[in-house]
Amino acid sequence: MKNPPRPFGHPWLEIAALVAMIAALWAVFLYAPTERTMGVVQRIFYFHVPAAFMAFLSFFTVFIASGLYLWREKRVYDRIAACAAEIGILFCTLVLMTGPLWAKPVWNVWWTWDSRLTTTLILWLLYLAYMMIRKYGDARSSRFAAVLGIVAFIDVPIIHMSVRWWRTLHPEPVFLAREGVGAGMEPEMVRALILCIAAFVLLVATVFARRVSVEAAAEEVEAIRMELRERVEVR
């Protein structure tokens, strides 16, 4: 191996993510007060909202990296987009799972074709299609996937604005409210949510760093395999 891939990320990042996750769990279950109307089930909020933020952040990374790949045609950008899409799908799945768990006790229904829920499901399906193009497409699939990765991100601002554009069961954002960040929330709830978001950011950074390293190593191994195959054919 002429140029072995260097590990992307550092052990301190993993340690910081672990400490932050433990602190976040303490804040969710012991520090933050119980919401008066919804009760204990409202604590899903501290996992549901950060998961949505991480999904949107990951898909924004796909959007930027895909644009750079189409412009510069460097493999590194395509690799970053692919890894970010995987993580985005994972956290979007968590959003779609925690949402019904929260909705059932509050709305008395697991799922409804609400505008925010529907647009979030569409986002999940779009990036699932993105991964399927990468997996089962031909040599040009990376460029096709990059175009889809850019177009699909248009759904993210639609999701954010859906509760304001259409009548919906889903409440308007309480953290990023029109009146200001955390308006209408108890200060302890705001601090707990911020800590959870920070913990999720560190977790995503850790997973993303490792995933990019694995993808780079896999590409290096594939390059060596192709080189050996060519040498055998020549002989």
Q: Please state which of the ranges 30-44, 59-73, 112-126, 193-207 shows the lowest mean pLDDT.
A: 30-44
Residue among 69, 77, 82, 74 nearest 127 (CA): 82
Q: Where are the alpha helices (DSSP H) in the chain?
A: 11-26, 45-72, 75-107, 115-136, 141-152, 155-165, 187-234
Whether residue 98 is contained in a domain is answered as: yes
Whether residue 4 is contained in a domain is answered as: no
Q: Where are the alpha helices (DSSP H) in 139-186?
A: 141-152, 155-165
Confidence of residue 77 (pLDDT cuts 50, 70, 90): very high
Residues ≥6 apart with Cβ < 8 Å to 69: 77, 78, 81, 142, 143, 146
Whether residue 39 is contained in a domain is answered as: yes
Whether residue 221 is contained in a domain is answered as: no
Q: 106 vs 178, which has greater pLDDT?
A: 106
Q: 89 vs 135, which has greater pLDDT?
A: 89
Query: Which range marks the domain in which residue 72 is found?
Result: 11-207
Neighbour count for residue 15 (Cβ, 10 Å):
12
Is pLDDT above 50 for 1?
A: no
Mean per-residue pLDDT, 43-61? 94
Confidence of residue 35 (pLDDT cuts 50, 70, 90): confident
186: domain CATH number? Answer: 1.20.120
What pLDDT is stored for residue 8 in this prediction? 53
Confidence of residue 110 (pLDDT cuts 50, 70, 90): confident
**Tally of structural domains, the chain:** 1
What pLDDT is stored for residue 164 in this prediction? 80
Residues ≥6 apart with Cβ < 8 Å to 231: none
Angle at which helices 115-136 and 155-165 pack, to 10 degrees? 170
Is pLDDT above 90 for 139?
A: no
- pLDDT tens, residue by residue, 195-218: 999 999 999 999 999 998 888 888
Whether residue 212 is contained in a domain is answered as: no
Q: Which amino acid is at 208?
A: F
What pLDDT is stored for residue 114 in this prediction? 85
Angle at which helices 75-107 and 115-136 pack, to 10 degrees? 150
Q: 146 vs 136, which has greater pLDDT?
A: 146
Residue among 29, 125, 30 nearest 85 (CA): 125
Is pLDDT above 90 for 106?
A: no
Mean pLDDT, rounded, of the chain: 86
Is pLDDT above 70 for 172?
A: no
The CA distance from 22 to 65, in Å, is 32
Give residue 96's Cα distance to chain centre. Answer: 12
Is pLDDT above 60 for 90?
A: yes
Mean per-residue pLDDT, 64-74? 94
Is pLDDT above 50 for 75?
A: yes
Whether residue 213 is contained in a domain is answered as: no
The CA distance from 145 to 130, in Å, is 5
Whether residue 215 is contained in a domain is answered as: no
Q: Between the CA of residue 18 and those of 90, 172, 174, what are the distances in Å?
A: 19, 31, 27
Whether residue 49 is contained in a domain is answered as: yes
